[in-house]
Structure formats: structure tokens, C-alpha cells
């Protein structure tokens, strides 16, 4: 049964990645691309408890990543890689931000996000967002995110897709970032998008 759940999760994640790559490719794969169907309006709160919406994506390039604070490996590894990549952006670092949206609003309160994102290995200034289950479901649909609660004894974990969405300063989706490479290569992907390559 557990194996079947893992296979289902892998298939769902693969479908999300393929869909995003097709959107990116059909849009031309560059900054001049027409706005895609990824992203959109949302109403959440950040780790300080302040209400935020999609306007936090305007004015800077953004990496939007969905995960949760109890995540054992994918989330901390991805955030640490993004933290190193930001350091490799040099003068462009001030034009870039990381936005982490929880898929586990039941446990990820603003305070929990604030404590989690304070890790020195994570990107400096990362914005952590949470909200009600309904608000998280709405932003998840807007970004085509897969997530599902998986019971584990008296607790649970969350299966979720691990796509990092690169958004331009108008809040439009540009491409998925490949975070499975070394941080300098992640930084190169970001710089290339900034340069319109």
C-alpha cells in the first residue's frame, strides 16, 4: 500500500513538472514569453503575521517554492541550495527573493515558519507564507502544485511536488528552476532569465 502511494506521488510530481516544462517551452522559454497559466492572485500571511498577496512578487525576481517545515530532506536541501545560489548572484542578489509557501498550514503557523526560515543556510530574507487550508488550496491550484497528507503513526508527513517557479518582477512565471545542479549553475539560470536569455 505504501509503495502504491509513493508511485502515485511520483507520477503526480512528474505530471506537474512535464506540464510546467510544456508551458515554458510553448511560451518560448524566455523572458519575452506571454504570461502563462502558472500563478495568480492569492491572500496569505507571512511569517511575521502580516497579510500579503501576489503583489509581493512585483518589483523583484522571485523563486516560489512550496514545502513544509517538517519536511525531512527536499525542502531544507532546496532552500539551502537557493541560499547558496543567492550568494553567487553577486550584484543581482538585491533583485531576487525567495518565497516559501507551506502546504501544511495545520502545523506551519507564522511563528513556526519564522523559526524554521531563520536557519543561516537558507536565503537571507526568505518570505514564508501560510494561511487557512482553503487559502493554501487556492494558491496550490494557481501554481499547479500537488500535495497530500500521508498518515505516519500518530502524526503525518506531506507528499508534495518540488518545483521551484522562477517569476519575473511583474509576477509572471518564466520557467522552472533546475535546483538539482550546483548553486553556481542555479545562479546562472537566474542571471540568464534576468538578462532575457
Delimit the domains of the chain by residue range. Answer: 2-29+37-194
Q: What pLDDT is recorded for position 54?
A: 97
Q: What pLDDT is recorded for position 43?
A: 97
Q: What pLDDT is recorded for position 168?
A: 97
Q: What pLDDT is recorded for position 17?
A: 43
Q: What pLDDT is recorded for position 36?
A: 53
Q: What pLDDT is recorded for position 196?
A: 87
Q: Which residues of the chain have pLDDT under 50?
A: 1-28, 30-35
Residue 139 burial (10 A CB sphere; 0-12, 13-18, 19+): buried
CATH of domain 2-29+37-194: 3.40.30.10
Three-state DSSP class for 160?
A: strand
- pTM, whole model, 2 decimals? 0.82
Amino acid at each position: 500500500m505504501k509503495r502504491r502511494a509513493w508511485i502515485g506521488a511520483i507520477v503526480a510530481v512528474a505530471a506537474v513538472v512535464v506540464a510546467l516544462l510544456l508551458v515554458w517551452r510553448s511560451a518560448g522559454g524566455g523572458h519575452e514569453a506571454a504570461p502563462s497559466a502558472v500563478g495568480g492572485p492569492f491572500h496569505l500571511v507571512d511569517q511575521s503575521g502580516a497579510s500579503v498577496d501576489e503583489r509581493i512578487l512585483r518589483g523583484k525576481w522571485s523563486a516560489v517554492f512550496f514545502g513544509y517545515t517538517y519536511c525531512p530532506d527536499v525542502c531544507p536541501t532546496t532552500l539551502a541550495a537557493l541560499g547558496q545560489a543567492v550568494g553567487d548572484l553577486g550584484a543581482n542578489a538585491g533583485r531576487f527573493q525567495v518565497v516559501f509557501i507551506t502546504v501544511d498550514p495545520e502545523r506551519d503557523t507564522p511563528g513556526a515558519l519564522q523559526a524554521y526560515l531563520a536557519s543561516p543556510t537558507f536565503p537571507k530574507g526568505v518570505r514564508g507564507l501560510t494561511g487557512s487550508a482553503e487559502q493554501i488550496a487556492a494558491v496550490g491550484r494557481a501554481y499547479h502544485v500537488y500535495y497530500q497528507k500521508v498518515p505516519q503513526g500518530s502524526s503525518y508527513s506531506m507528499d508534495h511536488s518540488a518545483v521551484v517557479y522562477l517569476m519575473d518582477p511583474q509576477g509572471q512565471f518564466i520557467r522552472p528552476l533546475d535546483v538539482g545542479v550546483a548553486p553556481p549553475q542555479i545562479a546562472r539560470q537566474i542571471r540568464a532569465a534576468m538578462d532575457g536569455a
